Chain A
Amino acid sequence: MSTPLFEARNISKYYGNYCALNDVSIVVEQGAIFGLLGPNGAGKTSLIRIINQITIPDSGSLYFKGEPMNLSHVQRIGYLPEERGLYKKMEVGEQCLYLARLRGLEKNEAKRRLRIWFEKFEMQSWWNKKVEELSKGMAQKVQFVVTVLHEPELLIFDEPFSGFDPVNAAIIRNEILDLSKKGSTIIFSTHRMETVEELCDSIALINKSKKILDGKVRDIQNQFRNNTYEMVFRGNMLSFTTALWTGFELIDKQADGEICKVQLKLLGNNTINNLLNTVMPVCEIVSFKEILPSMNDIFIQNVKEPV
């Protein structure tokens, strides 16, 4: 296995007596899209700030491509904070240049890249405008450009879609996928579980300052599978349900003329083959698949559990 791009080992952070992070470890593979999940106040932002070296953990260590992390790595990270803003009175172009140079880009190079991005997002005319003249969505585009401009190897987005209208959210989503395809590694934190399923390769779920779950999205879904299947068949619903007898639980059923759709759970030691053998005599099976729990369900289930 190759060296992970980023690794945090046993991170703890206290604010006075309050524990913000308790022994949290995460591993982000090269080129992956990594979701950092958790309810409000769980410690996501604390962890993200530590990754960005804004705050220093009380214990634990960080590694960037296997090297212990130091300040020089900041230039290889792009960060779009959840609480984000710009200087209102400053002109857009000047401000982008300033922020890009703070990230270590040389002035002319920053200018060149900015021109490309401004063209891409069709915002060339904003260059000499003051930020206060822009709408919220426009300002967020500017922030996005600033985040990715120095072509960082690791991108960190904290709630990237909040505040974007659906059109702009889609643009940003595609840009994120594009950056990922080009090889950037991405960490993003969000509450929107459907985007997690859609975008993320792996996740870590943090609740009450502790990591309670992590791994590949598929593995996690498998881990939480509960033997639930969906079957579509042609036949009589009544004879189907009678045939099930005791080994299976019928969770949901729908009938649309000849075509019926049911959700089943296997009980005891019953296997899929047992199920198929049981129902095959009474109906004609159209499709059969396992229902994996949604990330949303997994999230709610895990966060609700008393720790």
Chain B
Amino acid sequence: MGKISLIIQREYLTRVRKRSFIIMTILGPLLMAGVAIVPVWLASANESVRSIVVLDETGMMDYQLQSNPTIQFSYSHVSLEDAKRNLEKSDNYALVYIPKAQDDNLIVTQRSIKLYSTNQVSLNVKIYIENQLEKQLERSMLKANGVDKDLVSSIEKTVKVSIQNVDLNQKDAKDKSNDVEVSTALGAFAGILIYFFIFLFGSQVMRGVIEEKSNRIVELIISSVKPFQLMMGKIIGIALVGLTQFLLWVILTASIYTVFLNTVVKEKFSADKIEMLMKKSPDGTAVEDIDQLIENQMVIERINQINWVLIIPCFIFYFLGGYLLYGAMFAAVGGAVDNDADTQQFVLPITIPLIFSFVMAQTVLNDPTGVMARWLSIIPLTSPIVMMVRLPFQVPVWELALSMFMLVLGFIFTTWIAGKIYRTGILMYGKRVTWREMARWLRY
């Protein structure tokens, strides 16, 4: 209809032209990337080289501990008192003291190792030192019992089990491995995203309605269009804003990802490079690096293997369905109250199912085919989030269809109820509304 499309246009354009929308659209993917990258970057950028002095009375550790780029071991052979004094005078970070026990008892020794420092030692450093000492002790004990440590470690490196879960119900099960880690991450991410989208755009509907009501333009508009048209126009207009934002995010993220793959990753993880690394280190010192590389490449492969053709349309469907369901309720609340401050008592009850499904996401992730997950993904109030969480774990078609059908029924129902509350509410000024009052409006 002409008039409703006019309303949709206005709602859409006024929001899309806002500076905050443009900024969020550009910053969204960057922020998300930032959340993942910045902590790692901060942790690595912050560390300077720390020198650790080792004073070993047993002689077991001498020149055996492996330094890394941020922790450098050096060895001292003076008395403990001198070493402590030297530590205070020097820039050295800490002093590891390994006392000699009676009868060279290693069990006693490992309990009496001390770490002296002038400042509090960071946890990373402590863990690293412990790790190194343990490795060396293990080596010594194996040696004492006549076992060759190098043999053991080469065996350890060869053996690595990685289980691939293959779903027999999938036709192309042969080449599609369904793996839990990526599915879990994806499910959680989709659930969180849909939760925020519904909240963000649902409350935009509410604020829009309150704005119209509090600046009194609403009466002018509903003398031209039906209140229901105004409400639906607003809800649809804002839905389109949400979709625009989402699609722009998908496009931006996908292009950042592609660029990232084509430049950084390709160069770093290409097969040639791996081969070259292998050749370079026939002794196996770089094996860990290669493992890491292969792991990374598998993650990328898995990301590419995800059924995006299913996930993205489903995301859009559940976003729209969930948003329409909750958006209508948000509109009803906006219509019933006079200002933002009065919304609290109504917003919390209507969003409890949403918050509940967000909290339950963890349970669903642990058991994506359990009774709880199944029910929550069919009930319309919780299905938008829970079904998105379940989706990467292969949901039977009939369950998906039932869930979608229920969601459509759900939002038709809430829209119908909301329309009744809304059309009465927007014409009531200066009256504090109660739940009972709203229930009465349903019969007007």
On A, residues with C-beta under 8 Å from B are 15-16, 49, 52-55, 71, 74, 77, 79, 81, 83-90, 98-99, 101-104, 143, 146
Residue contact B216 to A84, C-beta cutoff 8 Å: yes
Main SS of chain B's interface residues? Answer: helix
Which of A49, A81, A88, A101 is the one whose CB lies under 8 Å from B220?
A81
B217 within 8 A of A: yes
Cross-chain contact A79 with B220 (CB below 8 angstroms): yes
Cβ-closest 5 pairs across A and B? A85-B216, A85-B215, A102-B224, A81-B219, A52-B223
CA distance A7 to B212 in the complex (A): 31
Residue contacts A-B, CB under 8 angstroms, 24 given: A16-B443, A54-B222, A54-B223, A71-B226, A81-B219, A83-B219, A84-B216, A84-B219, A84-B220, A85-B215, A86-B217, A87-B211, A87-B212, A87-B217, A88-B215, A89-B14, A90-B14, A98-B6, A99-B220, A99-B221, A102-B224, A102-B225, A104-B224, A146-B220
Instruction: Indicate if the CB atoms of A101 and B14 lie closer than 8 Å.
Output: no
State in angstroms the CA–CA spacing of A49 and B220 once bound together: 11
B21 to chain A, nearest CB (A): 13
Residues of B near A90 (CB, < 8 A) are 14
A54-B219 contact given A101-B6, A102-B3, A102-B6, CB 8 Å threshold: yes
Residues of A contacting B7 with CB < 8 Å? 102
B215 A87 Cβ-Cβ under 8 A? yes
Contacts of B427 in A (CB 8 A): 49, 54-55
Number of residue pairs across A and B with beta carbons under 8 Å? Answer: 61
* Contact pattern, B 193-217, Cβ under 8 Å of A = 1, otherwise 0: 0000000000000000001100111
Residues of A within 8 A of B6 (CB): 98, 101-102
Consensus secondary structure, chain A interface: loop
> Across the interface, which residues of A come within 8 angstroms of B219, CB to CB?
54, 81, 83-84
Asked if B429 lies at the interface with its beta carbon under 8 angstroms from chain A, I say yes
B227 partner residues in chain A, CB cutoff 8 A: 54
Provide the bound-state CA to CA distance between A15 and B429, in Å: 15
Task: Give the chain A neighbours of B14 by CB distance below 8 A.
Answer: 87, 89-90
Looking across the interface, which residue of chain B has its beta carbon closest to that of A87? B217
Q: Is B398 in contact with chain A by the CB < 8 A criterion?
A: no
The residues of A that contact B221 with a CB separation of less than 8 Å are 99, 102
Interchain nearest-CB distance for A194 vs B (Å): 27
Distance (whole angstroms) from the CB of B192 to the closest CB of chain A: 31
For B3, list chain A residues within 8 Å (CB).
Answer: 102
The A-contacting residues of B in range 1-54, CB under 8 angstroms, are: 3, 6-7, 10, 14
A83 vs B338: C-alpha distance when bound (angstroms): 14
B437 nearest in chain A by CB position: A16
Closest to B444 in A: A15
A55 to B14, CA, bound (A): 29
Cβ distance A133 to chain B, nearest Cβ, rounded Å: 14
Instruction: A16-B443, A83-B219, A85-B215 given; name 17 further pairs at CB < 8 Å.
Output: A15-B444, A49-B427, A52-B223, A54-B222, A71-B226, A74-B223, A77-B223, A79-B223, A83-B429, A85-B216, A87-B211, A87-B212, A87-B217, A90-B14, A98-B10, A102-B7, A104-B224
B residues within 8 A CB of A103? 224
Assembled-state Cα–Cα distance A89/B14 (Å)? 9
Question: Residue on B with the closest CB to A102?
Answer: B224
- Residue picked from B14, B220, B225, B427, most chain A C-beta under 10 Å: B220
Q: How far is the CB of A111 from chain B (nearest CB, A)?
A: 15
User: Please, what's the 1-or-0 string for B431-443, where 1 marks a CB less than 8 Å from any CB in chain A?
Assistant: 0000000001001
Q: Which of B222-242 contact A (CB under 8 A)?
A: 222-227
Beyond A83-B429, A89-B14, A90-B14, is A99–B215 a contact (Cβ under 8 Å)?
no
- Closest CB of chain A to B369's CB: distance in Å? 49
- Closest-CB distance, B214 to chain A (whole angstroms): 8
Complex Cα spacing A87 to B6, Å: 15
